[in-house]
Structure formats: structure tokens, C-alpha cells
Chains A and B, each alone.
Chain A
Amino acid sequence: MRRIIYLLLLIISPLLAFSDDATSALFKKGNAEYAKAQYKEAIASYQKLVDGGYRSVAVYFNLGNAYYKNDDIPSALLYYEKAHKLSPGDEDIRINIQLANLKTTDKLEATPEFFITKWWHGFILACSLGTLAVLSVLLILAGALLLILYRFTQSVTVKKVSFYSALALVFLGLVCIFVAGRQADYFDSHHEAIVFSGSVTIKSAPTLKSKDLFVLHDGTKVDILEHNNDWVKIRLSNGNEGWITATDIREI
């Protein structure tokens, strides 16, 4: 029993702590620079982490903040959205995205989502994938232990309680696994991008000669539907679709 607990601690600890000292130092350096309003330096520090392959809610969020303060709204939005993807339920990220969106040009009237879809998305995006994964492991493990207790205990009361709570825990664990699966699926199928060109004309087909449909400005978030050579088919939140050159957007 004690061994199991040690094992769990071993698993969870890297999720809570920095992986190594150099990374941690870089992160702290970025934070210190941000605090001193040296946003450009902070961007460089955070960007080093991101370029080094680190993906973390905190790094993305802080980088977004630094870009925001540096008046680079599209970049800020890109990293906010990346952070949002890692931690969909984070309110700080949500609020900063809202504020950054106030500074973009395009105002898009989002097509209203069906309320069940909205609830569903809210549900599956409430916790981050990592949290869901840890939670599901713990729940399933606790459920299993309770079931073992149920099997070997002599007391009828303990048997009853342990059986039903074990069922509940296993069920919750399965729900966690399912939600994590849905969330991963959602992000897999749901590619988004931020427009980075100051002004870009959306075409009706992936050729330069095709008709102009509408004009987008930097900072606008679009859904990616399809890739075709150097062109990307996008959809706006108001439902309009069109083609944009891949260089004009950056995928979240």
C-alpha cells in the first residue's frame, strides 16, 4: 500500500514542479523582466522557453501578456489561445483574450451555438487535459482499492459503503477518461489560427485570381478547415468561409 502512494507521488510531482533548474531560471527571469515592464526582454526570455519545446500554460500566458503590453495584439492572442487550449477552464486566460480582442479591428457576430453544444463544450473544456488525466488515474485507483476492501472486509457496513463508493469513484474516473478523450479530440479536430497580416483579402478559391470575398485584419481568430498547398480554407465565427494564404495566419 505504501509503495503505491510513493509511486503516485512520483508521478504527480513532475506535473507540479519545473522540470529542471535552467528552465525554471529562464521562466523566473522572464517574470522579473515583465515585472520591470521590460516587455521586449520578457518576450525574448519566454520565447526561448517556447522555442526550446516547452509548452506550458504559464509560459504561453505570460508571453501573451508581454506581447499585449508590447502592443503586438495578434501575437498576444496567439499565445493566449495556445494557453487556453492547454487550460481551457482558466479564467485569467479567458479574460485576457477578451481584452485583447477589444483591440482587434474585425467585429464578428458569432453565430449562436446550440445551447446543448455550448454546455457540452463548456463541460469538456472545463479542466485541462493533464488535470483530467491525473484525476482519472486517482479515481480509478481509489475505486479499485475500495473494491479490494469490499472483497476482504468482514464488516457488513464497511462492505456496503466501500462497494457503493467504489462504484461511484470508478464511474467518475471513467467520466474523466471520456471527457479527456473528447477534449483531446476537440483540439485535434478543431484547428484555429490567428490572422497576422494587417489587412488581408479572403478569396473564394485558392488562387490569386479568384474573387475577393471579404477583408480580415490582424488579430482575428479563424477556424482552419482545409489546407491546399499554400492556401488555407478558413471559417469565421460568423460562418463565412474563404481561402487565405498560409503566410497570413499562424496556427494556434
Chain B
Amino acid sequence: MKKIYCILLLLLLSTSVLFAADIHFTASASKTEVSTTEQFEVTFTVNNNGDRFTPPSFTGFLVVSGPNMSTSMEVINGNASSSMAISYVLIAVKEGTYTIGPATIFSGGKQLSTKPLKIKVVKGSPSQQNNAAAAAAAAQSQSTPDSRVTVKRPGTDINKSLFIRADVDKSNVYQGEQITLTYKLYTRVAIVGSEPEKLPDLNGFFSQDIKSPNQNPNWHVETYKGVKFNVADMKKNILFPQHAGNITIDPITMLFVIREAAKASDDDMFGQFFGTYNDVKYRIKSMPTVIHVKPLPPGKPDGFGGAVGKFSISTSLDKKELKANDPLNYSIKISGTGNLKLLKPLSPVFPADFEKYDPKTEDTIAEKESGETGTRIYNYLLIPRHEGNFNIDPVKFSYFNPATGKYVSLPTEGFKIKVNKGTLENNVTAFSGADKQDVKLLNKDIRYIKTSGDITKNGEGFYDSNLYYSLLAFGPLLFLGALIYGKWYEKNNSDIVEVKKRKAGRIAAKHLASAQAQLKANNSKAFYENVFRGLYGYLSDKLNIAAADLNRERIASELKARSLDEGLINELLDTLDLCDMARYAPVSGISEQQMFDKAKNMINDIEDKL
């Protein structure tokens, strides 16, 4: 640009002498009454070449750009004339009336000066104040030397014909509700080139780019605030607000190169003819957009994991009956529109005895302008280790539907699984019996069956039976009986006289028995001896008289005392006499057998009587 000016200046200087005529040096402003923060242009024009231009002091104004020099050349009827314009873009800062002082220039060997300009500044609208601040900032950035790029501050007019809008489909949403954000470029000027300078951070949002199928922006015509614009969607995002409150979408900043006609006076046909233009760079910044995010309403159902949108859920199981140690696939499919990618994995309850692995997530999610739509599938690998009947309980999936403002809980199908006995050992030992293997029992087997043994009916056990108790009691009872018997026995035998009396008959019988034996042996002497002893012994015992004291009289008196009848006593005494005699001499008149019977009868009679 500067080169062009230099060449033109050289050309002009070389011809200045030729066309030296009356020279005017004028100052003009685009507006004499401006509002604060409004940009306006002050131009100093000289209809000749000039040098040593001294600008006035622009007290009360801010120089936005300038000095911008432009020169023009015109040839009228063979007379060529040139003019030169130096312009400044100013912004009034404060209201009031200001005077821009004279500017001076040397032209044609003379110093020329302009008349002062009066500018009246009135209070501007607030929206323009933003511009003023921005302009001030831009002016400051301009003061830093930048040799490569000249970035022009967009003037009011360019601001109105080239801007970026951050367009959201809704600005009042629930937390987690999806928003479609579109950066739209509105333009009425020719754009030569563009480059993004600062992309928004989109803090506070989970953002997903919507990738447009074609690379070039799709231009269309749109009427915005009554003005027709060429509009292109530059960038589209799906946003999910992460927290409640007002979240600001940062502005996007882009650099545009705009082709502008070079500044020239309107009647500069030369410039128009040759289509002189300048490519000017403008930095365009979109306005920040604020999204009002409402927190989710209270009453979150159990198992709510932050899903917002509209979803459906289904579960599936690849087999219902299998062997232990075989793998099993359980999948949960969630499809719909909403923050699918932000879903937390559901936590279905599996039987405690199943070996389970973390779910594998499969996404088929498309980012469209309407939002994030698609399906997410959680695949759970399960391995039942033991046989049995198991249940996989239904899962409850809850989401918030922002359209209705209500929570929705979707139950899923539960499953019954039958696990059969699997192939033994191979896997099981590795898991469950690992710490049991330290017992080395390789060559051991269970003990062999018992081939003999008792078999009893239920309840026939000896213990606790009546027989058991009676047998237990039998011993003590036996002992008790023996004790009683002993006592009785002792009591009976304590009186010797009585015992003798009792035994007298028996002893006599003994003697008589032996007498009978003698009788059979025809030993008559021994026979009588025995009969005599038997009778005497009997009487001695029975009457309790010592054998030495025993004589006829004693026996007779004792028997009489026991009131035995006279006849019996006499008979007894006769028998005794007879026996006594028979011991020494044979007796007649009575046989031995008769004698024996007599003695026996005698004892029996006495026994009966006493």
C-alpha cells in the first residue's frame, strides 16, 4: 500500500511544477455533530502535492485510525491535476463543543493552513459505548507496532454489515438439557479470506461438535432486523450445561479480510475506473451469549444418573440356560436423544455368585442439529460358577425429560437363568479351591463301605426305650431284694433255740432216712441206733434240752408242760424204751419196719402238735 503511495507521490512531484495553479487546503469532517463514541472522519484535502503536513491536535477526541493518505489524479481536457487527502477517524469521548485546530502543509512553496473545524458532541447511546471501549482497546493494540498486518477497527458501518451471532436454540434450559449452538456469520460485504483467531472455550458445558458433511459453509440469504444478509453457519455445537446458573458462551473472534474500494473522492473516476481497492483486515468478535441453566427439579428417583432427554431402554440376555463356567452376555441398550455420552453405566444387580466384569460400552451416537441421538449399549460379561436357579433383577433407568419437566423411570425386563452343573474341576479349582489345594490327598479315597452292622428301625434305639430303663433298674432292684432277703434271713436265724426247733424235724428226718438205709441193709443194730438218735436229737432240739440232760422224766414233764396228750407221751416213751433196748438185745413183737413207721409217726405227730 505504502509503495503505491510513494510511486504516486513521485509521479505527482515530477509534474507539480507544470500544473501549479491556485492551491486550496481544506479541512472537512464527515459530521459536525456527533454523539459520544461515534466514529467520524476528518479529512484534510489539498488540490496539489504537499509535504511537511502538520496535523492539528485532536484534543477531546481519540484517533482511531489515521493519518490515512490518499492521492488522486485527474486529467481534464489535457490538464492533469492531482489532489491529496489525509484523513483521520476520530471518536468523541466526551460531550461538548470542540474545535479542531488548523493543520498546515507546504505546497507550491507556500505554507497553507486550514480553517478550524467545530464539532459538537452529544451524548451517545449505550450500545455505542461498547464500541467506544472496544475501539479504545483496538486503538491501543494498534499503537503496538505490527508491520505485517494492519487490522482495521470495524467502523459502525462495517459492524452493521459484518458480524457473527452465537445463535442458540434455547437459552433457558435445565441442567444437562442439550442446546444447539450455531455461530452464524452475517455479511453484506465481500469477504476475501477468514481465519478463526480465538475459538470459544465453552467452559461449563459438555460440548460436541456437529460435523457438517461439506467443508464449505452453506450460504443463504436471511433477513435480520429488516436487512438482507448473506448468512453462513460457521460452526455448530451441541452443548450440555454441566451446572446450574448463568453460563456465558464465550465470544468467538475471527479475522476477516474485506475487499474495500480505496478511499477516493466520489468524482475520482480514475480510481473507480481502475477499481482501486484495499484489502482490509477486520477482527470480528461475536457478542457473548448467556444461557440460563435451571437445576433439575427435586424428587430425583432412585437410580437417576443425570440422564436428561428422552430415552428408551431394553435389556437382553443371550441365553437363559447354560452350564456353570460358561460365559453369559447381558446387555442394556439405551436409545434416544439427550446426553447419551454422559450417561453413567447402570449398575444392574447380578447374583452374588456370578463372576462379573466391567461393562463394555458400544456407542452409535450421531450429533445432529436436533441433538445427540443414537444408542448406547452396555455389555456385561457374566460367568456363573455354580449350578442353581438365579435371577437377574430388573434395572431401573431414570431420566429427566425437559420437555415435560418430569422424571421418567423405565423398568426393564428381569431374567431367570438356569445354570446346570458344568464340567467339573478345570476352571473351578482355579478360582474357588485355590487355597484348598494345600491338602495333598492324591492317593486317598474314601473308606470302604461297612459290610456288617446293625440295622434298626427308626425309634427302635435301645437308648431311651422302656427296656433300657427297666434293665437299668433291674440291678439296683436285685440288690435291694438281696438286702431284704438278707435282713429277713438274719432275723430268722438270730434265735438259736428257734432255729433248732425249726430244724429238729429236718434233722430227725435225716436220721430216719439213714435208718431206713440201714434197714434195707439188714443192719438192725445200726438201724435202731439211728432211730434212737433221730428221736432223741429231735426231742433235744425241739424241747431245747441239752442232750446230757435228756432223760425219760424230763421228756415226759416237758411234753406235759407243752400240753401234749397223755397217750402220745406214753407211746413216745414206750418207743424210746423199745429203741434203747433194741440197741443191745433183739426185740420181739415188733418188726423193724413197724418200729421205723412208729418213730416216723411219732415225730410227725409231735411236729403237728407243737
Contacts and interface: CB of A to CB of B under 8 A. Distances in A.
Interface of A: 4, 11, 14-19, 23-24, 27, 31, 34, 49, 53-59, 61-62, 65-66, 68-69, 71, 92, 95-96, 99-100, 102, 105, 107, 129-130, 132-134, 136-137, 140-145, 147-148, 151-152, 177, 180, 184, 197-201, 212, 214-215, 217-218
A27 B463 contact: no
Interface residues of B, number: 52
Interface string B403-442: 0000000000000000101001000100011011001010
A102 B471 contact: no
B140 to A, nearest CB: 69
B279 interface: no
Contacts of B344: none
Contacts of B432: 105, 107
A71 B422 CA distance: 13
B4 interface: no
6 contacts: A19-B456, A24-B455, A49-B455, A54-B455, A96-B447, A140-B472
A141 B324 CA distance: 61
B442 to A, nearest CB: 12
A147 B483 CA distance: 10
Contacts of B460: 19
Contacts of B450: 57-58, 61-62, 92
A18 B284 CA distance: 110
Contacts of A71: 424
B457 interface: yes
A144 to B, nearest CB: 3
B454 A15 contact: yes
Contacts of B472: 136-137, 140, 177
Nearest to A69: B446
Nearest to B450: A58
B479 interface: yes
Contact of A102 (B441, B458, B468, B475): B441
Contacts of A62: 449-450
B498 interface: no
Contact of A197 (B388, B444, B464): B388
Contacts of B277: none
A212 B351 CA distance: 10
B467 interface: yes
Contact of A54 (B390, B451, B452, B456): B456
B387 interface: yes
B605 interface: no
**What are the 6 A-B residue pairs with the smallest beta carbon separation, nearest first?**
A58-B453, A144-B475, A198-B387, A198-B388, A133-B463, A199-B386
Interface in B82-107: none
A53 B464 CA distance: 18
Contact of A19 (B449, B455, B486): B455
Given A54-B457, A56-B456, A198-B386, A96 B482 contact: no
Interface of B: 324, 351-353, 384-388, 390, 419, 421, 424, 428, 432-433, 435-436, 439, 441, 444-458, 460-464, 467-468, 471-472, 474-476, 478-479, 482-483, 486
> By DSSP majority rule, is chain B's interface helix, strand, loop, or mixed?
loop
Contacts of A177: 472
B454 A18 contact: yes
A58 B446 contact: no
A236 B372 CA distance: 53
A144 B481 CA distance: 11
Nearest to A71: B424
A137 B444 contact: no
Nearest to A68: B446
Contacts of A14: 456
B471 A55 contact: no
Contact of B449 (A65, A140, A152): A65
Contacts of B458: 53-55
Contact of A100 (B446, B474, B483): B446
Nearest to A176: B472
A144 B478 contact: yes
B351 A201 contact: yes
B449 A61 contact: yes
Nearest to B479: A144
Given A140-B476, A144-B475, A198 B421 contact: yes
Contact of A200 (B324, B388, B456, B483): B388
A107 B439 CA distance: 13
Candidate in B441, B450, B462, B479 with the most chain A CB atoms within 10 angstroms: B450
Q: Which among B386, B455, B464, B476 has the highest number of chain A CB atoms within 10 Å?
A: B455
Contacts of A130: 454, 461-463
A152 B482 contact: yes
B474 A141 contact: yes
B435 A107 contact: yes
B471 A31 contact: no
Contacts of B476: 140, 144
A96 B352 CA distance: 30
Contacts of B435: 107
Given A53-B457, A198-B388, A133 B449 contact: no
Contact of A217 (B351, B386, B439, B471): B386
B463 A180 contact: yes
Nearest to B390: A199
B353 A199 contact: yes
A92 B523 CA distance: 80
Contact of B452 (A19, A58, A92): A58
A217 B387 CA distance: 9
B478 A148 contact: yes
A195 to B, nearest CB: 11
A151 B482 contact: yes
Nearest to B349: A212
